[in-house]
């Protein structure tokens, strides 16, 4: 059973990373949606130093930008309240050019993994005016999802390609490819890895759309592991259908003999709380019973107040589930 965390300011100190590794951590994910691999060099160095100090061969995973759509940079965080107007595009919140034609009246939009929701009121200039339906604080480079629409971008951005070319020198062992919908996307990633001298870097395909769920059988042979990425997948489908999608992917992977990872909000409350909820413990336990070979923490370790404790609780719950299965 692998337990992965996510690198971030909350855990980027050698001592903290050592404690996380001792608590059961198998490796760390580096989210390259917000920075380049060079910009993250200090965190990577701290991770390698921690694992070397302990004599452990922990994995380093890079999570690419890929085709996920994101807003542009903001000068400062925006506090959005329900009923407030929000300008998208032009002099407002920068949005990708691909979404501009779809900003039609009535279109609902999710921002920052669905934490914020707005609805387009009218087109305005080279953008649109929207009303905030679900408020929160919006910062730059966060995800944007147009409800009910599938807008595809390139499999790999220019920044992704540059990061891949440097992956070997940073000790990367896994590449996480977001929003995988079709096999050709994974074939592009594999070809780019091979051409960059990273042929031994393994590919984890993140399933974050209904198309990905529907095409899971064609995706499995083209990757080394499947990732059930419940954040954006929960934006793409109704939340009450998310458990069905998770179970469907898990069963298909087991039938094909392919490992899979479960990620997103597994211990979400531990970003601020030193102990998890009972529901979170059950979520981890059931993911293992469903056959997950890996579990992953994101904000809990990247920005949370209790990164070491989060790893400890996840590891304990996972091993309790394995022991339960062994005794059946």
Catalytic residues: 29, 70, 206, 264
C-alpha span between 40 and 50 (Å, rounded): 16
- Give the position of tokens 């147009």: 146
Q: Which of 260, 256, 279 is nearest to 269 (CA)?
A: 279
C-alpha span between 108 and 238 (Å, rounded): 14
Burial of 137 (0-12, 13-18, 19+ CB in 10 A): exposed
End-to-end CA distance of the chain: 18
C-alpha span between 272 and 38 (Å, rounded): 30
Beta-strand pair 27-31/59-63: parallel
């Amino acid at each position: 059973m692998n337990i992965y965390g996510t690198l971030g300011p909350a855990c980027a100190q050698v001592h903290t990373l050592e404690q996380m590794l001792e608590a059961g951590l198998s490796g760390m994910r580096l989210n390259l949606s917000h920075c380049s691999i060079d910009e993250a060099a200090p965190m990577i160095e701290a991770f390698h130093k921690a694992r070397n100090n302990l004599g452990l061969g922990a994995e380093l995973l890079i999570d690419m930008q890929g085709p996920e759509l994101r807003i542009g940079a903001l000068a400062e965080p925006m506090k959005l309240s329900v009923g407030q107007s929000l300008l998208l595009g032009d002099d407002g919140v920068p949005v990708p050019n691909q979404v501009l034609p779809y900003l039609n009246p009535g279109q609902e939009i999710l921002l920052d993994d669905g934490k914020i929701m707005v609805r387009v009121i009218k087109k305005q200039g080279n953008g649109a005016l929207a009303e905030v339906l679900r408020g929160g604080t919006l910062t730059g480079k966060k995800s944007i999802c147009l409800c009910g629409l599938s807008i595809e971008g390139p499999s790999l951005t220019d920044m992704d390609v540059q990061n891949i070319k440097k992956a070997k020198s940073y000790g990367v062992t896994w590449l996480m490819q977001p929003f995988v919908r079709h096999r050709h996307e994974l074939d592009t990633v594999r070809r780019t890895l091979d051409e960059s001298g990273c042929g031994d870097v393994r590919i984890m395909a993140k399933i974050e759309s209904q198309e990905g769920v529907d095409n899971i059988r064609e995706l499995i042979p083209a990757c080394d592991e499947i990732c059930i990425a419940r954040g954006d997948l929960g934006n793409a489908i109704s939340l009450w259908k998310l458990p069905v999608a998770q179970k469907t992917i898990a069963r298909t992977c087991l039938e094909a003999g392919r490992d899979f990872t479960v990620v997103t909000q597994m211990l979400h409350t531990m970003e601020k709380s030193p102990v998890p909820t009972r529901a979170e413990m059950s979520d981890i336990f059931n993911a293992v019973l469903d056959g997950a070979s890996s579990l992953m923490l994101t904000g809990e370790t990247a920005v949370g107040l209790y990164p070491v404790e989060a790893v400890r609780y996840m590891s304990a719950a996972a091993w309790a589930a394995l022991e339960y299965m062994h005794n059946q």
